[in-house]
Amino acid sequence: MEQMASLAQGFVSLLSRLMIAAIFLASAIGNKIPQFQATANYMQTEGVPNPKLALFGAIGLLLLGGLSVVAGAWTRIGALFLLVFLAAATFYFHDFWKFSDPTQQQLQTIQFMKNLAIGGGLLSLIAYGGGPWSVDGWISKRREEVESGVPAAKPRVTAKAS
């Protein structure tokens, strides 16, 4: 029963990391990189200081953080990178409090709340790490084995006498 729970936890933690990272990686690869100049121009209209430099930084945070979360390698740091990006993007681009048009205010409030929920998922990764099916989980398991002096159980191979 414990082994089944461990498998379920590994699968769910991997799936959650993939789902969270997907939006960030798609944003970098599908939008910000191929439309760099247009994105920088839009950032300037939204009041982002030094938009080209900020965009380079944003792409770096998105790629490093997204790949880190997918692999589960330095998961907490990768999730922190994504959280920093998300906080800045939410502040500059989903500032619902600045809109007087009720429709725009409602749309930006929804986007703000969506980002708040994604931020909660990232905080969970920061708090608990990548789970057992991650590079971090594998390193942690190996470290425990070394510290305890007990190697992982391996299947026994027995030789038959002829």
Work out the angle at residue 107's Cα, subtended by the Cα atoms of residues 38 and 97, and round it to the nearest 5 degrees.
Answer: 90
Q: What is the pLDDT of residue 152?
A: 59
Q: What is the pLDDT of residue 155?
A: 54
Per-residue pLDDT tens digits for 99-158: 999 999 999 999 999 999 999 999 999 999 999 999 999 999 999 889 988 665 555 555
Q: What is the pLDDT of residue 5?
A: 84
Total-model pTM: 0.87
Q: What is the pLDDT of residue 161?
A: 55
Q: What is the pLDDT of residue 40?
A: 98
Task: Specify the DSSP class assigned to residue 156.
Answer: -
| Upper half-sphere CA count for residue 4 (Cβ side, 13 Å) | 1
Per-residue pLDDT tens digits for 16-33: 999 999 999 999 999 999
Q: What is the pLDDT of residue 3?
A: 85
Task: Specify the DSSP class assigned to residue 34.
Answer: T
Q: What is the pLDDT of residue 160?
A: 60
Distance between CA atoms of residues 18 and 68, nearest Å: 11
Q: Determine which helix (DSSP H) or strand (DSSP E) holds 13, and give its type and residue range.
A: helix 2-27
- Contact criterion met (CB below 8 Å) for 120 and 2: no
56: left (phi over 0), alpha (psi -120 to 50) or beta: alpha
Q: What burial letters (b/e) apply to 97-121, b meaning 16+ CB within 10 Å?
A: eeeeeeeeeeebeebbeebeebbeb
Per-residue pLDDT tens digits for 50-101: 999 999 999 999 999 999 999 999 999 999 999 999 999 999 999 999 999 9
